[in-house]
A and B are shown apart, each in its own frame.
Chain A
């Protein structure tokens, strides 16, 4: 019998029951909740007079709607009426149903996909769900993690399970080491550029190879975070010593003899050598360059030294029309150099790139410099209150502020602009987030996805530059 993939193992470990047509009941170990996709689920429980199956499997925090500026007045201080009601509703629901929540002014609050791993609420071998497509992030821990809709949030609350059909297995192997200056963000954008935004549809993607194994947990989370941008609900990476070292000692991680038992168990969380994948993609890591998106889909991505494509050279009529439409929306010309795209705004944050390593990478680039006069908005939004505190203890906040960037409170912020942080219509933004869809960061806004270091370098230059060609501070200690 052929060996099993990591996904096969995780699936088998959580299979409660399989029906004749292949639809299965899968047990869910952890559900993360936030204010946007949970109110209707809690309301559903109330209407049907149901209780959560296992309260201790859930952890909540508000992130999408919270202000990143002054929070001294608490939830009452949220100016937008509907945002305030949504945050208040999460607080009320968690109190009513007994779910642990890190409320807005708790230092442990933050973006749900940053908070879960940071607290050890995300562990290897788990099934992790959340009403948010970027739940794929947690797959970095050798977990089966994916986004779900609100009806499924309610289903998990009520039954601790989901009805699923097994996905197919895809391996994306990034062979060889990446060059200096290349990050997890560049790797995943290059992968999306290669396979397209629907390339992973119907698959669970395992990321492997030397370039992936060399990444820190932060880098791995960035890669898995954007699996959904390649169409795959779930992305995952095998457990190794890097994973174990990250998890050890975190608040909700096992301790003592349970820790030893867990670590022994996690040693199996990798694909067997003879495992069979339905599809294998190989990418040469040494050839990956800093990536920049130019269009309105994450697959519209190019290396920094490339030029914007000409729709006339695209033979597929559907793709040609997409390129034409994107060029109009982005107000860019075919053939123009990526480096010539002039920027108005910089956003460093989001569940993709707001962890301490991201903060450090951006700070190294801007240290001792000033942002370009053409940049009218530049903000750094840490992923959690704990990351904010860590960054401040390292003096990173001062580096950003001295360079002319704003240092904000944690939340999703201008990744999707549900709170007050919005990209103005017509403006170009270098963003470390995950989606460059039309209007994503604000009505009429134009998003370019990049790594934190590339966004920081663009802030200084006012346009995109190759991070490998600029001087980066070797030390971020002040």
Chain B
């Protein structure tokens, strides 16, 4: 997995609550059997005026000029800020894949849907929960300052704004450890292989019907 340590990034404001995963990456693009290439269809229905098709080049498609990602001031962005309950809806990991593929490394919101939040960490994408007040402040400052860029330092769990304000954020110790070191979670879990096997032996004794019922 990609490491996340420190980031200086231009902020894009997506001023919406309940941004769902169908909005982040519509279903027709979930047919791919790859993990990459979803960036051009990130927020497809908001970004383009026509209906996007899988396997279609996005060059020449009519753009919705009002949508933030089509505004030149947010070019090269890597931080997305949004309102409450970001990433609600389906479990599609294509949502963080699309954000990552577009170039986002961090999403900041007052709250996230659980599955999306969890999926971000598997892909080196950092979701940060801040208070409504702090998110509001970031929105205001982003709107008022072209090229607004913040610093995110995972080790110290801080966001630093251009004016030098420092905002702290929380993150689980294990997730932080995995992100900072770019660890493959499966590898980490397999370090506990003996524990899993021990559990399984006991479980076979107490609930034998849970094993071997399905045979290919």
Contacts and interface: CB of A to CB of B under 8 A. Distances in A.
A100 B216 contact: yes
A409 to B, nearest CB: 19
Interface in A389-443: 416-418, 425, 435, 437-440, 443
Contacts of A322: 16-18
A318 interface: yes
B111 A201 contact: yes
A201 B31 contact: no
A335 to B, nearest CB: 23
A131 B122 CA distance: 14
Contacts of A57: 214
Interface in A342-374: none
Interface string A3-30: 0000000000000110111110101010
Contact of B214 (A58, A83, A151): A58
A27 B210 CA distance: 12
A133 B189 contact: no
A123 interface: yes
Given A86-B31, A151-B122, A198 B216 contact: no
B114 A149 contact: no
Contacts of B31: 36, 65, 80, 82-83, 85-86, 418
Given A133-B90, A161-B189, A201-B114, A99 B216 contact: yes
Contacts of A59: 214
- From A57, A159, A444, residue with most partner B Cβ within 10 Å: A159
A129 to B, nearest CB: 10
A346 to B, nearest CB: 20
Contacts, number: 210
Nearest to B187: A48
Interface stretch (A211-219, A257-265, A454-462): A257-265
A254 interface: yes
Contacts of A265: 206-207
- From B23, B83, B114, B174, residue with most partner A Cβ within 10 Å: B114
Given A16-B195, A82-B54, A158-B186, A437 B22 contact: yes
B51 interface: yes
Given A37-B92, A132-B91, A56 B214 contact: yes
Contact of A155 (B173, B186, B200): B186
Nearest to A129: B91
Interface residues of B, number: 64
A82 B91 contact: no
Interface in A27-55: 27, 29, 36-37, 39-40, 43, 48, 50, 53-55
B83 A318 contact: yes
B173 A25 contact: no
A100 B214 contact: yes
Contacts of B208: 258, 261
A393 B118 CA distance: 44
Contact of B209 (A37, A48, A83, A254): A254
Contacts of A58: 214
Contacts of A36: 30-31, 92
Contacts of A23: 172-175
Contacts of B172: 21-23, 165
A80 B56 CA distance: 13
A63 interface: no
Interface string B81-117: 0011100111111001000000000000001111100
A91 interface: no
Contact of A437 (B23, B174, B206, B214): B23
B212 interface: yes
A297 B83 CA distance: 15
A123 B213 CA distance: 11
Contacts of A40: 33-35, 93
Contact of A56 (B27, B119, B196, B211): B211
A318 B17 contact: yes
B55 A81 contact: yes
A29 B185 contact: no
B209 A261 contact: yes
A98 B51 CA distance: 39
A198 B111 contact: yes
Interface string B1-35: 00000000000000011101011001110111111
Nearest to B88: A197
Contact of B213 (A233, A252, A297, A318): A252
B97 to A, nearest CB: 9
B91 A147 contact: yes
Nearest to A19: B174
Interface in A127-180: 131-133, 135, 146-152, 154-155, 158-161, 163, 165, 167
A187 to B, nearest CB: 21
Contacts of A165: 172
A105 interface: no
A413 to B, nearest CB: 12
Contacts of B175: 23
B71 to A, nearest CB: 19
A125 interface: yes
B215 A152 contact: no
B114 A202 contact: yes
Contact of B30 (A25, A125, A152, A418): A418
Interface in A182-239: 197-198, 201-202, 228, 231-233
B216 A231 contact: no
A89 B31 CA distance: 11
Contact of A149 (B88, B91, B174, B196): B91
Give 7 nearest A-B pairs by CB, closest first: A254-B209, A151-B122, A149-B93, A147-B91, A149-B119, A39-B33, A21-B173
13 contacts: A27-B196, A37-B92, A56-B212, A57-B214, A120-B213, A149-B118, A163-B174, A231-B85, A252-B213, A265-B207, A416-B90, A437-B20, A440-B27
Given A82-B54, A444-B51, 18 more contacts: A27-B203, A64-B30, A86-B31, A99-B216, A100-B214, A120-B213, A131-B91, A133-B90, A147-B90, A147-B115, A148-B91, A152-B118, A163-B189, A198-B85, A201-B111, A231-B113, A325-B16, A418-B30
